[in-house]
């Protein structure tokens, strides 16, 4: 186990909500909640202004609305967040070849492997420069933890939030961990935490005092040994640059239970196509097709079928998902559907049975026309709250809300003053969906700093952001708490 605090953990601060605030001047300094907006939606991220009211990730959206009725509630823009994440990960890879992403907004970095740090002083300087670079490149803030192990570095970044840096000096680990809750340690979830609590163990220090034998008796050999070692601040897990993807899946939760069998089948086909899109985007294929169905009574059924070889053929995956659906009773209603592919590979093997069937079928049989009475009705244009639009006359803006045949848009850009609000008919031909605008002007890629150039001089000042506007948002939908 290393002794120098050269493992860095980065966690972007309230990432989705902060990205929305940075791109929408009228929301800066306001309570912002990002997530599913339907009756069954959950909170993905809440800004720090919203957390004051008790709103937090994974909370039901209905509960969040009761706690913070005046917050801005927005639908996630994952492509936008991914583009920001790629720039942040590029900064991390400039520091070291050993970067282990955990999600879009979180990663470990082995600074020693890249020669970016070798002791506490150089590690602190590298972390400070990284935070300044992130702010300059994205306009957002991130919190950094530095320690001799992954577990401690992550704890450090949690203590650093928001927009801070915590370095855990070697030799101080036990004193830091002792008073913390057992839930702080990796692998201690609600169930394990409750089990330990019933045994009278509430803190990390009490885990160490209980002893290894008692933990093995309570939790089993593997978990007990691992938890005792972590309570003693022993964690030798390395930073792993490539995390193997084990499956690719998509799922949707519906605001109203789906009872129509044809509608369920069409949703499964749509999910299968989305899953194929993700597969191909990652350059992968898979052998096992998985269907997930959560019914009206919250019972969840999973069905799977393993093919002869890996595939990314949308027709093959759609057909397999349809066969799996045939084995599931959906008469009571469906609240969630999902399609996934596992047994992944980076190559495909043609499905000979599908090819043979295709060779025997006529074009009409391959693509039978839907009966006239089953043709889906033209769908109304959807305008998700928070998503980007462009108007022929007023320019770039974002959807503040929609309903009753109208859509309300606030016209502003990341570098503008808070914009004005206008309302249009949903089918207004001058209004179209748009791509997100960058948060800050493009900057040259950051080059790694050679170790010889690192010094113990003054820490650089973080790049400054445009001053956040603190006025009142029109309409009362996002007024300041």
List the catalytic residues: 106
Instruction: Please count the helices (runs of H) and the strands (runs of E) in the chain.
Output: 15, 17
Q: What letter does residue 113 receive in the DSSP assignment?
A: T
181: closest CA among 159, 156, 206?
A: 206
Query: Residues 184, 155: contact at Cβ < 8 Å?
Result: yes
- Strands 32-35, 72-74: pairing is parallel
Helix (H) or strand (E) holding 422: strand 420-425
Residue ranges of E strands in 60-98: 72-74
Question: 33 — phi, psi (to 5°)?
Answer: -125, 125
Q: Cα separations (Å) of 378 from 274, 330, 404, 430, 436?
A: 21, 26, 17, 19, 27
**Which residue is associated with the tokens 């000979």?**
352
Angle at 279 between CA 274 and CA 280, to 5 degrees: 100
Question: 418 — phi, psi (to 5°)?
Answer: -55, 135
- For 92-119, b/e burial (b = at least 16 CB within 10 A) is bbbbbebbbbeebbbbbbbbbbbbbbee
Task: Take residue 213 and report the two structure tokens written for it.
Answer: 């034998």
Burial class (CB in 10 A: 0-12, 13-18, 19+), 296: middle
Q: Cα separations (Å) of 35 from 104, 137, 299, 402?
A: 15, 25, 24, 16
Phi-psi region of 228 (alpha: psi -120 to 50; beta: other; left: phi over 0): alpha
d(CA 354, CA 290): 19
Beta bridge partners of 203: 181
151: closest CA among 224, 243, 231?
A: 231
Q: What is the 3-state secondary structure (H, E, C) of 291-350?
A: EEEEECCCCEEEEEEEEEEEECCHHHHHHHHHHHHHCCCCCCCEEEEEEEEEEEECCCCC
| CB-side neighbour CA atoms (13 Å) of 256 | 3
Q: How many CB atoms are closer than 10 A to CB 329?
A: 8
Query: Residues 231, 151: contact at Cβ < 8 Å?
Result: no
């Amino acid at each position: 186990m290393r002794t120098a605090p050269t493992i860095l953990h980065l966690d972007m601060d309230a990432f989705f909500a902060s990205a929305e605030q940075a791109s929408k001047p009228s929301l800066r300094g306001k309570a912002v909640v990002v997530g599913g907006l339907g009756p069954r939606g959950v909170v993905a991220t809440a800004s720090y202004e919203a957390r004051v009211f008790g709103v937090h990730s994974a909370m039901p959206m209905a509960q969040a609305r009761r706690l913070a009725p005046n917050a801005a509630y927005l639908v996630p823009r994952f492509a936008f967040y991914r583009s920001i994440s790629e720039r942040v990960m590029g900064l991390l890879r400039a520091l070291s070849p050993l970067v282990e992403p955990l999600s879009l907004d979180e990663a470990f970095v082995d600074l020693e492997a890249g020669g970016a740090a070798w002791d506490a002083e150089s590690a602190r300087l590298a972390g400070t420069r990284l935070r300044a670079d992130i702010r300059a490149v994205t306009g957002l803030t991130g919190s950094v933890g530095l320690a001799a192990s992954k577990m401690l570095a992550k704890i450090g970044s949690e203590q650093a939030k928001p927009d801070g840096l915590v370095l855990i000096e070697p030799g101080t680990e036990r004193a830091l961990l002792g008073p913390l809750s057992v839930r702080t340690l990796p692998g201690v979830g609600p169930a394990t935490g409750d089990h330990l609590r019933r045994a009278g163990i509430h803190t990390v220090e009490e885990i160490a005092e209980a002893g290894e034998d008692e933990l093995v008796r309570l939790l089993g050999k593997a978990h007990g040994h691992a938890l005792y070692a972590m309570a003693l601040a022993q964690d030798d897990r390395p930073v792993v640059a490539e995390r193997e993807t084990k499956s690719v899946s998509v799922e949707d939760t519906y605001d109203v239970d789906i009872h129509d069998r044809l509608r369920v089948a069409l949703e499964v086909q749509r999910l299968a196509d989305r899953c194929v899109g993700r597969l191909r985007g990652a350059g992968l294929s898979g052998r096992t097709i998985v269907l997930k169905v959560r019914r009206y009574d919250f019972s969840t059924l999973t069905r799977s079928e393993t093919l002869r070889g890996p595939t990314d053929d949308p027709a093959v995956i759609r057909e397999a998902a349809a066969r799996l659906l045939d084995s599931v009773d959906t008469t009571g209603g469906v609240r969630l559907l999902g399609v996934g592919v596992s047994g992944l590979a980076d190559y495909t093997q043609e499905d000979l049975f599908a090819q043979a069937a295709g060779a025997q079928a006529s074009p009409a049989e391959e693509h039978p026309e839907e009966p006239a009475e089953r043709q889906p009705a033209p769908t109304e244009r959807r305008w998700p709250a928070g998503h980007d639009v462009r108007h022929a006359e007023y320019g770039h803006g974002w959807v503040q809300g929609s309903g009753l045949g109208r859509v309300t848009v606030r016209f502003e850009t990341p570098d503008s003053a808070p914009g004005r609000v206008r309302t249009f008919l949903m089918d207004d031909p001058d209004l179209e969906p748009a791509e997100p605008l960058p948060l800050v002007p493009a900057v040259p890629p950051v080059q790694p700093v050679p170790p010889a150039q690192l010094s113990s001089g003054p820490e650089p000042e973080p790049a400054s952001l445009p001053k956040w506007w603190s006025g009142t948002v029109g309409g009362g939908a996002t007024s300041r708490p």
